[in-house]
Amino acid sequence: MTAAGTPIAVVTGASSGIGAATARALAAAGYRVVLTARRKDRIEALAAEINEAGHQATAYPLDVTDRAAVDEFATAFRTIGVLVNNAGGALGADPVATGDPEDWRQMYETNVIGTLNVTQALLPALEASGDGTVVILSSTAGHATYEGGGGYVAAKNGARVLAETLRLEIVGRPVRVVEIAPGMVKTEEFATTRFRGDAEKAAKVYAGVAEPLSADDVAETITWAVTRPSHVNIDLLVVRPRAQASNTKIHREP
Ligand code: 8X3
């Protein structure tokens, strides 16, 4: 708790998409949000926007894969109420036979090691709050595979297992571990990053889908999960658009 008693929520990958929307939503729910991401300009602008709206936010540029930087960041906090591990993403959609090992490595670094770094570093402060919550954004890709899912599916399975294992290991301590697994979410960057700026390929992901989830839909889900009473642990919440029955069964309008 801060001097004023406002619980802190740290959000990684807060520069865009689900992370930015979650920062806004948790700030509106009464948390003092700490926005982290590599892109300083973006998180500073978002923190300013949140503060102008009468809520509380600060920006802290951070690469979650840089363990020394993460450890330095962690020294700033005595107690933290919520950590949302959102930083991550996909690179490529190649078959296993031809996928680039460097893409696989990078996805493991950001989605798994990044989450591990921040969670390990902030766990003492989460526990010190007496009522901490760790949220791990996995994906439906962490629960079922699909052709071309490759390294992303493997990495998100890693994130899921991290959440499940941590929950087992810290039971009895005052920290909840919540896994949120979104399906198709249309954000400004996810698919474009995956296809390295190829707008046409990125657009195909959502082609004909009347209403993919928005970043706000997922942010509301996260906010709901973390604002349940302390004894209620949402182990896993899978959230998809109505048009998506599975990773591969998607209703597309002609
Ligand atoms: C994103 C869902 O279907 O692109 O996490 O793997 S999918």
Sign (positive/negative) of CA torsion 180, 186, 189, 195?
positive
The reported pLDDT for the residue numbered 38 is: 97
Phi and psi at residue 120, to the nearest 5°: -60, -45
CA of 141 to the centre of ligand 1 (A): 5
Atom number in ligand 1 closest to CA 182: 5
Instruction: Provide the pLDDT confidence category of residue 2 given band limits of 50, 70 and 90.
Output: very low
Contact 43, 51 (CB under 8 A): no
The one catalytic residue in 31, 60, 108, 152 is 152
Mean pLDDT of the chain, nearest integer: 96
To the query of whether residue 152 is one of the catalytic residues in this protein, the response is: yes
Distance of CA 30 to the CA centre of its chain: 19
Measured by CA distance, the residue closest to atom 2 of ligand 1 is 183
Does 149 score more than 50 pLDDT? yes
The reported pLDDT for the residue numbered 5 is: 82
3-state secondary structure of 176: strand
Residues having CB closer than 6 A to ligand 1 are 139-141, 152, 183-184, 247
The DSSP symbol for 149 reads: T
Domains, the chain, ordered by start:
8-239 (3.40.50.720)
Q: Could you tell which of 137, 152, 185, 244 is best to mutate to test the pocket of ligand 1, judged by most ligand atoms within 8 Å of the CB? A: 152
Q: Could you tell which of 137, 140, 240 is best to mutate to test the pocket of ligand 1, judged by most ligand atoms within 8 Å of the CB? A: 140
Sheet holding 175-182, edge to edge: 56-61, 32-37, 8-11, 82-85, 132-137, 175-182, 236-239
Contact 52, 46 (CB under 8 A): no
Q: How far apart are CA 58 and CA 80, in angstroms?
A: 14
Sign (positive/negative) of CA torsion 20, 26, 32, 34?
negative
Measured by CA distance, the residue closest to atom 4 of ligand 1 is 184
Instruction: Provide the pLDDT confidence category of residue 3 given band limits of 50, 70 and 90.
Output: very low
- Percent of the chain exceeding pLDDT 70 equals 98
Q: What is the pLDDT of residues 223-243, one digit of tens each?
A: 999 999 999 999 999 999 999
Q: What is the pLDDT of residues 25-75, one digit of tens each?
A: 999 999 999 999 999 999 999 999 999 999 999 999 999 999 999 999 999
